[in-house]
Structure 1
Amino acid sequence: MINFFRAVFITSIVSAVVSQNCFAGSSQQFHLDIPTINQEVEIDGDFNEPVWQQAAQVMLKYETSPGENIAAPVNTYAKVFASKSSLYFAFIAHDPSPENIRVNLRDRDKSWGDDMVGIKLDTFNNARLAYQFFINAYGVQSDSIENELTGQESDAWDGIWYSKGKLTEQGYQVEIQLPLRLFNFDDSHPLQTWGLELIRFYPRNETHRLSTHQIDRNVACQLCQLGTVSGLAGATQGKDLQITPSFVADQSEQRELAQTGPWQDNTNVEAGVDLRWGITPTTLLNATINPDFSQVEADAGQLDVNNTFALFFPEKRAFFLDNKDYFDTQLDLLHTRNIGSPDYGVKLTSKTDDHTFAMLAANDIQSQFLVPGNLSSDIAVINEQSHNVATRYRFDPSKQFSVGGLVTLKQADDYHNYLASVDVKYQPTKQDTFTAQYAHSQTQYPDDFFNQFCGRDDCNYTFDDCEIGDCAINERVLRTDKDGEFDDAMYNIAYQHERRNWYVSTNYESIGSDFRADLGFIDKVDLTKYVFGGGYIWYPDNHFFSRIELGGDWDITHSQNDERLEQETEMFIEFEGGLQSYIATGMIQRERVGRRHNPSIIDIDGNTTLFEETLGWLYTNFTPVGSLKLELDMYLGDDIDFANNRPATVHMYNPGIEWKITESLVLDFSHRYQTLDVDDGRLFTANLSDVRLNWQLTLNSFIRLSSVYTRIERDPNLYLYQNPDKRYQDLGNELLYGYKLNPQSVFYVGYSDAFVANDDIDSLTQQEKTYFMKMSYAWLL
């Protein structure tokens, strides 16, 4: 198999370099010539200035979803022109029933589901990355980056741009200014040619997606199907210098888990500064000194129960998110939440012709990273300052082929992790995609590092009678008890063929037992995994459901010693249709191993039990009325009781609701209920409630109340090796007022607290409380 993929890889490189096909934005899709008019306009939602009479005009003629390139059900016109420093767009969205327009005052990136118009721009027209800007009828902004390499869209990126919307008797209209300083582009060309699509979302019984041009469902690549726009004569970014000073103050109080425990006060006042400098139109420098990396909005609640692997939390910090996509590869080798609290950071990103370069460097007051395994993983912390570096280079010799490399470094006094990776992506046709990636790491842990995982002072594990319950050893101890440096590699090879009505894919991955990606999120090592899957898609006409997909896959996983860890078969069916509904349900049948009988040895065969499981799952969301969205996620069937290494039965129900009480007041509520039963009774019942109430006072200001409550009830008599608390509760609350002039010019003031209860504390007892304030202002020079 490896020789076959090697031959395919070599052939792919040769074909890509000599290929003359063009899979990027094409004028055959759609083309617009933009006039350059040296005149600015006021962004007020009206088009009264004479300059708009000289703008280019285009109509969004087609519905691309759920209808397949049919005539748009409503009329939408767009106007566009450029000045030396900005792109200007105006949308006129007609509606035969304006009273049915769905529009709400929301915070940035929170208006999905509303009527909105949008712009997609590929400033290098190479089908790699695209900027996306969407605006609802009140002018609420949403922006994101679409990355063709990973197939992901990230709304974490926030640019500074301007928009205004207003309702009219005929529908609504929106006016937009996109400063050229937002974009990376090559200003050496006298005229620019960018990829472009103009979009309108028209949500009624279904969400109709309208476009300037047709979208071929028989083509796997989305950015390859943009139209083109030409113009911007003499366009430059200008000085493109942004300096953002910030000031943060908080007062926190904490105490031990005892109702009479004294409070310990801590006051913190800090100032910092961020620099964003467009050195050239294609090169961006970000730097930060004493940054405030506190999160204003709490992470979504997650249940960490009967789970052997570390939880994933997304990055939300602006410094790391700007041009984050330049670092992306098919594997998650850079997850910047592993850099917890730096004193400084610097990032340089650049794109010139076919070359993309990115570099990130930051310190951290500690060294935090994942310790992975094939049956479990955990977060490790070394209380030493670390230095963190990541460098990425990517070469795109043709529209079909790209090759890149990534190097990461994480280093402290007695610890280091170095990683080097190379990746390729090749699309020989519009339906076929090959990807491959290889990475090698070298790591060294401190001599006594493994002690933090054994749960006792003495981690001696040479005795023969070590069992699940009476042994201080676990997989993390075995993975971290290393002498000197150790190294290993991983690789991933994938192929996917996608057509309008069917698709197939296959993937093979191998991760060495000593491979580590401490600046990434690779939570499993010491395994090989093969996956094969496919599916068929129907697009019914004149039916409640406009799209039906039937698919499935089969996978098998072994350790590096060829010991089977898991074999799984899954079938599923998906429906999309009326009431803006999405329904997916499926069945999983698998065999997988539980915990090791003797945790002091790494073996799988003869040291684990193979469990058979059958599990059914369902996920659905729909909008019965415009102000109410309902959601349900559930699964039930066989599971493993990992604490006691025996078969179990799981029930999980996770309903959710988004209720737009008024145009400015929104309630988001979700509740997760999970039980695990064994032969002798119910092992535990877990509940997690996440409530968020947002009152958007104006486009720029809001008040938000959030509360996350967890309650876990266990039967200690059913635990064979442990004696857990019968009851555990925690409650976290936050009240926040925010004012955003733009994503970087903000003022926040708020209060948060935390309550805990367990067998020793009868009722929820306050353990922490914090008052905080943050303000920053982006000076655009």
Structure 2
Amino acid sequence: INEFGVDAKVRFGTNKTLGLTVNPNFTEVESDIARDSINNPFNPFKPEKRSFFQSGSPVYNTLLPMVYTRNIRFPEWGANYIQNTRNSTTGLFYVEDAETEFVMPDNLGSDTMNVAIESNASAFRYEQSFGKKSLGVLGTLRQGQDNYHNYVGGVDGLWDLSIDDKLRFQLMYSDTQYNEAFADDLCESGDCTRDPIPDFCPLGNCGTNAYVQRADYERKLTGHAFRFNYKHDGPNGLYWLNYYDVHRDFRGDLGFQKQVDYRSVNLAYGQKWYLRVPNDDGESRIRAYGVFTETRSQANEDIETAYALYGEFRGWKQTVFRFGPTWKSRAVNRINQNSLELGDNAPLFDEHYWLWYYEISPWSQWTFNFDGKYGEQADSDNLRLGDLREFKPRVRYQLGHIEIDAKATHRIFDVEEGQLYKEEFYTLGVTYRSSKIFSHRLLWLYDITERNLAIWLGSETAKETSNSVEYTAIYQPSSALRILSGFKFEDELDSDVDDKRYLTNRELYVKLEYTFSKGFD
């Protein structure tokens, strides 16, 4: 497959920029490394890598993430406009997309929806500052074939009450119409939008699910989303209040809206202390705080009640150490997948686990991390409470022209009958700059997932592995010209019987980027 892409940028004076692009989709030669556990029912966030979208992303950052350009998967062409003045910011973009992809939310999880229909995506943002206050408006639009549309609009504001105190809010409203293809893409098996569905459709043996029902194509969906945030972060203490209210029919198809049909309050309070550590020039800080969260559905059904306590140290040798217990009463999935009701249909599990984050840089070239989780947690795919062990070591090295980043995730989930699943993720990234204009980049990813099918609900495979090796040589003689060439190989195993691996992707590529930039006074 041969592809051709162009980026152009025109600057008008010092504060206005017009960007144009054709085929800006280059993520396939810059692998994604945002991976998460099969036990997490919510989609992981993936950072944007395409320069056309990166350049304007800060303009659209709001309390509720309504613009998530990774939902624009195969853009054919687009244009954007950014204007920054002393007291205001304006942003506008429009993109034609060859496919339609977005996050379909529920109150217990989210799933990715992808339909092979053309659509367009656009967003408008304006923010005006008034001293220590600001007020903004944001609107997004996605529409495509077969009468699909998603319109979102609203207002947001920020008030700097003092150096340490900030108050923020955002209120959005959406109008959405899906078609049957959207719901059909979310079916667990078969054509669940047309097949007869029994009154009782148990987890693990049901074609439909909550996401199919959230993509209700037989009616127009309208609803609101509201968030309020107050935070105090002073030299001696901190506290915050977060409040969410998201209607069951609110949809933000251009954003990262991964949860709907809920109300939630999140509170925290803590104190800070300072001390001098021997052989350290700076001052270290100790912080202790507690966090409370309660989440209920719009029908006032229990979703989650959580308490957490954390102790944190920051200081000596650039150390960050955070450690503490969490207690939760949480609904993770429904027994009858043919109903959106919670209550007795979504039992609450009492979880208790410990979380920690550790980072230290004893020498300027080296940084070490060791994060983890240990304790009782519920599994959403099997409606089981089990013992989770999760360890995530990481080592980073940078000296002169070379950078090395190696990290791993080791996760085991045990129940009474034995090990329910095991996950292992490995990543190695190496960058070497041989000169000012020439560099090399190597990325290796290796993932293993093993399930115990004797106690696993549903039709999954016992073992899945994926292996990816990618090498890129980068030649950049000027700020406008960049040439990338290299290769990428991927193989996978998805089997209950043997360990034979299959080559699933092989790429040899040359990528030419030239940015046309012209300024006008």
1:684 matched to 2:417? The reply is: no
- One-letter amino acid of the structure 2 residue matched with residue 393 of structure 1: Y
Question: How far has the Cα of 1:743 moved from its partner?
Answer: 5.4
Question: Cα–Cα, structure 1 residues 667 and 293, in superposed 2: closer, same or farther, change >3 Å?
Answer: closer
Q: Which residue does 1:528 correspond to in 2?
A: 263
1:419 matched to 2:152? The reply is: yes
Question: How far has the Cα of 1:327 moved from its partner?
Answer: 2.0
Question: Cα–Cα, structure 1 residues 612 and 625, in superposed 2: closer, same or farther, change >3 Å?
Answer: same
- One-letter amino acid of the structure 1 residue matched with residue 218 of structure 2: D
Q: 1:465 aligns with which of 189, 200, 204?
A: 200
1:268 matched to 2:5? The reply is: no
Q: 1:580 aligns with which of 303, 307, 318?
A: 318
| Deviation by residue 1:160-183 (Cα, 9 ceiling, x = unmatched) | xxxxxxxxxxxxxxxxxxxxxxxx
SS at match of 1:451: helix
SS at match of 1:636: strand
Contact 2:168–2:228 (8 Å) recurs in 1? yes
Counterpart Cα distance in 2 of 1:284 and 1:325: 14
Question: Cα–Cα, structure 1 residues 458 and 590, in superposed 2: closer, same or farther, change >3 Å?
Answer: closer
1:477-488 matched pairs, under 5 angstroms: 477-488=212-223
Q: 1:299 aligns with which of 32, 37, 45?
A: 32
Question: Cα–Cα, structure 1 residues 698 and 374, in superposed 2: closer, same or farther, change >3 Å?
Answer: same
Question: Cα–Cα, structure 1 residues 289 and 472, in superposed 2: closer, same or farther, change >3 Å?
Answer: closer
Question: Cα–Cα, structure 1 residues 407 and 563, in superposed 2: closer, same or farther, change >3 Å?
Answer: same
Q: Which residue does 1:404 correspond to in 2?
A: 136
Q: Which residue does 1:647 correspond to in 2?
A: 385
Contact 1:461–1:472 (8 Å) recurs in 2? no
- One-letter amino acid of the structure 2 residue matched with residue 474 of structure 1: N
Equivalent residues, number: 511
1:167-566 matched pairs, under 5 angstroms: 267-270=1-4, 272-396=5-129, 398-414=130-146, 415-454=148-187, 455-459=189-193, 460=195, 462-543=197-278, 546-566=284-304
Deviates more, 1:380-389 or 1:444-453: 444-453
Question: Cα–Cα, structure 1 residues 482 and 779, in superposed 2: closer, same or farther, change >3 Å?
Answer: closer
Q: 2:438 aligns with which of 688, 697, 701?
A: 701
Counterpart Cα distance in 1 of 2:211 and 2:42: 11
Question: Cα–Cα, structure 1 residues 726 and 707, in superposed 2: closer, same or farther, change >3 Å?
Answer: same
Contact 2:121–2:142 (8 Å) recurs in 1? yes
Contact 1:282–1:351 (8 Å) recurs in 2? yes
- One-letter amino acid of the structure 2 residue matched with residue 344 of structure 1: W
Question: How far has the Cα of 1:295 moved from its partner?
Answer: 4.8
Q: Which residue does 1:67 correspond to in 2?
A: none
1:724 matched to 2:460? The reply is: yes
Question: How far has the Cα of 1:448 moved from its partner?
Answer: 4.4
Question: How far has the Cα of 1:770 moved from its partner?
Answer: 0.3
| Deviation by residue 1:264-322 (Cα, 9 ceiling, x = unmatched) | xxx3142x332211123222111123435345432225134122112211111111111
Counterpart Cα distance in 2 of 1:554 and 1:285: 45
- What's the C-alpha RMSD, in Å, of the aligned pairs? 1.8
Question: Cα–Cα, structure 1 residues 461 and 479, in superposed 2: closer, same or farther, change >3 Å?
Answer: farther
More strand by share: 2
Contact 1:369–1:380 (8 Å) recurs in 2? yes
% identity of equivalent residues = 26
Counterpart Cα distance in 1 of 2:442 and 2:161: 51
Contact 2:204–2:459 (8 Å) recurs in 1? no
Question: Cα–Cα, structure 1 residues 389 and 780, in superposed 2: closer, same or farther, change >3 Å?
Answer: closer
Counterpart Cα distance in 2 of 1:640 and 1:767: 33
| Deviation by residue 1:56-96 (Cα, 9 ceiling, x = unmatched) | xxxxxxxxxxxxxxxxxxxxxxxxxxxxxxxxxxxxxxxxx
1:648-687 matched pairs, under 5 angstroms: 648-660=386-398, 663-687=400-424
Contact 1:498–1:504 (8 Å) recurs in 2? yes
Q: Which residue does 1:263 correspond to in 2?
A: none
Question: How far has the Cα of 1:453 moved from its partner?
Answer: 1.9
Question: Cα–Cα, structure 1 residues 487 and 747, in superposed 2: closer, same or farther, change >3 Å?
Answer: same
Contact 1:640–1:648 (8 Å) recurs in 2? yes
Question: How far has the Cα of 1:517 moved from its partner?
Answer: 0.5
- One-letter amino acid of the structure 1 residue matched with residue 71 of structure 2: N
Counterpart Cα distance in 1 of 2:197 and 2:514: 59
Using structure 2 for the length normalisation, give the TM-score: 0.94
Counterpart Cα distance in 1 of 2:313 and 2:335: 43
Q: Which residue does 2:345 correspond to in 1?
A: 607
- One-letter amino acid of the structure 1 residue matched with residue 56 of structure 2: N
Q: 1:769 aligns with which of 497, 506, 513?
A: 506
- One-letter amino acid of the structure 2 residue matched with residue 311 of structure 1: P
Contact 2:360–2:368 (8 Å) recurs in 1? yes
Q: Which residue does 1:126 correspond to in 2?
A: none
Counterpart Cα distance in 2 of 1:707 and 1:423: 42
SS at match of 1:778: strand
Contact 1:685–1:714 (8 Å) recurs in 2? yes
Counterpart Cα distance in 2 of 1:279 and 1:665: 38
Unaligned runs of 5+ residues in structure 2 are none
Unaligned runs of 5+ residues in structure 1 are 1-266
Question: How far has the Cα of 1:508 moved from its partner?
Answer: 0.8
Counterpart Cα distance in 2 of 1:349 and 1:608: 46
Counterpart Cα distance in 1 of 2:197 and 2:461: 30
SS at match of 2:2: strand
Counterpart Cα distance in 1 of 2:25 and 2:144: 23
Counterpart Cα distance in 2 of 1:301 and 1:438: 29
Counterpart Cα distance in 2 of 1:292 and 1:424: 33
Question: How far has the Cα of 1:622 moved from its partner?
Answer: 1.0
- One-letter amino acid of the structure 2 residue matched with residue 550 of structure 1: A
Question: Cα–Cα, structure 1 residues 294 and 594, in superposed 2: closer, same or farther, change >3 Å?
Answer: closer
Q: Which residue does 1:236 correspond to in 2?
A: none
Q: Which residue does 1:185 correspond to in 2?
A: none
Which protein is bigger by CA-based radius of gyration? Answer: 1
Q: Which residue does 1:238 correspond to in 2?
A: none
Counterpart Cα distance in 1 of 2:473 and 2:160: 48
Using structure 1 for the length normalisation, give the TM-score: 0.63
Question: How far has the Cα of 1:461 moved from its partner?
Answer: 5.5
Question: Cα–Cα, structure 1 residues 418 and 456, in superposed 2: closer, same or farther, change >3 Å?
Answer: same
Contact 2:484–2:510 (8 Å) recurs in 1? yes
Question: Cα–Cα, structure 1 residues 277 and 379, in superposed 2: closer, same or farther, change >3 Å?
Answer: same
Deviates more, 1:667-676 or 1:493-502: 493-502
Deviates more, 1:532-541 or 1:401-410: 532-541
